[in-house]
Amino acid sequence: MAVYTEVSDEELAAFLDGYDIGGLLSCKGIAEGVENSNFLLHTGGGYFILTLYEKRVDANDLPFFIGLMEHLARRGVNCPQPVRNRAGEALGELAGRPAAIVTFLDGMWSKRPDARQCGMVGQALARLHAAGADFAMSRANALSVEGWGPLFRAAETRADEVLPGLPVLLAGELARLQHDWPTGLPRGIIHADLFPDNVFFLGGKLSGLIDFYFACTDALAYDLAICLNAWCFEADASFNITKGMAMLDGYESIRRLDDAEVAALPVLARGAALRFLLTRLVDWLNRPEGALVRPKDPMEYVKKLRFHQQVTDARDYGLRR
């Protein structure tokens, strides 16, 4: 979450007039994240999240995201629910951007996840995959292997500013993954961005999942690889196999990986590291002037990528078979 677009009091008041959520008491910009402009609304009806969808989000994809959250909730996944206005619409326009209001989830995200939380995330991810199996809509993953080349080219000429020699590392890794990327794996709806700040805990339990604006149709095991990257490394970029074991055990307690997914996991984890390295690099080098946003350091994923380059077996991530 972030704030790229400022909203005037008058614009916000006019927008909220179309909703039955009570009068506005306060509105606060949320600085975390890198994609859309987000605000915490406090109204007479409670707390809500207002999102303005910025240019990287294709407006044509918004019905998919809205429909997916409603579908997952019906299948028992605790996630934000779109609030429809008096005309029955979940999408509107505010400050020249597509905009939506969703319900607020109670809980806190963990800045230092432990193994128990990693196990709960593994279970929640598998349940999400099961819940999305009968979702009628689909969306291609624009940030899968086919999308990494354009990202690399967008950052190639300045990547040395972040780390000398980084363009060479990226070019070699991109070529390798384009050649080795697996096909034919079980596919379905994936979250594609289930980082710690998108998972809430309350009273020692996982209370909800948020931020479905990268969700798409792709290999289910790729979603798990993203989570291994996001949850199972320590601050010094060392992989915590205890956390990896907990996450994989949690996932397989709900959905067992097939043999092809197990064999592909090291390549998928390597690809997930490259994907987030590239998007962070582009954002790091192109921070919008005046934006209330904290770009994330791409060097974190350089270190993770180097770990994955040495992995050849899913057991190195903690898979116990």
Same-domain status, 167 and 43:
no
Same-domain status, 143 and 258:
yes
- Reported residue count of the chain is 321
Confidence of residue 295 (pLDDT cuts 50, 70, 90): confident
* Chain mean pLDDT for the chain: 94
Give the HSE-up count for residue 189: Cα atoms under 13 Å, Cβ half-sphere. 23
At 291 the pLDDT is 56
Packing angle of the helix pair 220-231, 259-285 (nearest 10 deg):
60
At 2 the pLDDT is 54
Same-domain status, 94 and 145:
no
**At residue 56, does pLDDT exceed 80?**
no
Same-domain status, 193 and 96:
no
Same-domain status, 76 and 122:
no
Mean pLDDT in residue range 241-250:
98
Same-domain status, 173 and 300:
yes
Interatomic CA distance for residues 292 and 29, integer angstroms: 8
Interatomic CA distance for residues 54 and 52, integer angstroms: 6
Same-domain status, 87 and 127:
no
Same-domain status, 234 and 196:
yes
In the block, residue with structure tokens 């019905």:
63
Supply angle C-alpha 65, 67, 70, rounded to 5: 110
Three-state secondary-structure class, residue 58: coil
Confidence of residue 285 (pLDDT cuts 50, 70, 90): very high
Mean pLDDT in residue range 107-122:
97
Domain that holds residue 64: 9-102
Three-state secondary-structure class, residue 209: strand
Give percent of the chain with pLDDT exceeding 70: 95
At 226 the pLDDT is 98
CATH number at residue 81: 3.30.200.20
Three-state secondary-structure class, residue 271: helix
Same-domain status, 282 and 189:
yes
Mean pLDDT in residue range 109-135:
97
Domain total for the chain? 2
Lowest mean pLDDT segment, chosen from 46-50, 210-214, 290-294: 290-294
> pLDDT tens digit string along 2-41?
566 789 999 999 999 999 999 999 999 987 655 788 899 9
Same-domain status, 132 and 225:
yes
> pLDDT tens digit string along 171-190?
999 999 999 999 999 999 99
Same-domain status, 295 and 154:
yes
At 287 the pLDDT is 76
Of 59, 57, 79, the C-alpha closest to 68 is 79
The domain boundary residue, chosen from 80, 102, 124: 102
CATH number at residue 273: 3.90.1200.10
The domain boundary residue, chosen from 102, 132, 148: 102
Instruction: Tell whether 1 is covered by a domain.
Output: no
Mean pLDDT in residue range 200-209:
97
Interatomic CA distance for residues 18 and 92, integer angstroms: 10
Instruction: Tell whether 2 is covered by a domain.
Output: no
At 6 the pLDDT is 81
Question: In this structure, are residues 50 and 68 in contact, taking their beta carbons and an 8 Å threshold?
Answer: no
Instruction: Tell whether 268 is covered by a domain.
Output: yes
At 30 the pLDDT is 84
Instruction: Tell whether 94 is covered by a domain.
Output: yes
The domain boundary residue, chosen from 102, 128, 151: 102
Same-domain status, 60 and 162:
no
